[in-house]
Amino acid sequence: MLTTQAYIGSELELFAAATHWKSYVATALRPYLGPRVLEVGAGIGANIPALFTDAVREWVALEPDADQALQISGAITAGRLPAATRVVTGTLDTLHDTSLFDAILYIDVIEHIERDADELRLATQRLAPGGRLIVLVPAHQFLFSAFDAAIGHYRRYSRAGLLEISPPHCRIEMLRMLDSVGFFAALANRAVLRASMPTPRQIQVWDRMMVPISRWLDPLTAYRFGKSIVAIWSRSATV
């Protein structure tokens, strides 16, 4: 289960500048959101501007690291994040009210959680009937690198591995791989560079040059090849 703790999060500022990637992910995910959204492990709030839509009435940013949660609060106060954003410092257990959400997001989060299946099971208890559980994770265990280890990843995922941790009372609605070109950058880092942290220049090249090509190429591969996987489950309306 995700625990309340200090998180180094040195990669968050780097990837906050990956605007092409965030736009690509947002294009895939925004149709599955609803009026009430819970983002678990919201970090510094970098996903919110790309994903937030006019249909969202409340966005709860749940973040276990107090310093990062404070950054989100500051961004709301400064008007850099929507006023409908609410910050909660903690984990699913910290949400004391009984509110249910139309969408619960884990954007590059569950790979940091040792008992990932238990986490998703608890998350579905917070979903409204018909609500969606949306998960984005890094793909392919053979790509596990010094970077993964440095930022606290327990694992990378396969399509089959994600299906194995499908939460109860949910059906899979989407399962696709993204960023086919970025796969080769990840492979190069794993096999040759072996860097524990990408440089800002590397992030820039990947985001501005590789991601736009992936957006064109991924549909041609039927979304079956890439360095990330997105899975969306919908909760049964009869439970």
Name the helix (H) or strand (E) containing 38.
strand 36-40
Structural contact between residues 60 and 86, judged by C-beta atoms closer than 8 angstroms = yes
Q: What is the pLDDT of residues 187-214, one digit of tens each?
A: 887 766 566 678 888 889 999 999 999 9
Identify each DSSP E strand in 96-225 by its residue range.
101-107, 127-138, 170-178
Burial of 200 (0-12, 13-18, 19+ CB in 10 A): exposed
Task: Enumerate domains of the chain plus CATH numbers.
Answer: 10-235 (3.40.50.150)
Min mean pLDDT across 9-23, 77-91, 110-124, 181-195 is at 181-195
Q: Give Cα separations from 213 to 15, 69, 90, 128, 216 (angstroms).
A: 18, 34, 38, 37, 5
Provide the whole-model pTM.
0.92
DSSP assignment of 44-61: TSTTHHHH--TT-SEEEE
Q: Measure the CA–CA gap between 155 and 22, rounded to whole angstroms.
A: 22
Q: What is the pLDDT of residues 103-132, one digit of tens each?
A: 999 999 999 999 999 999 999 999 999 999
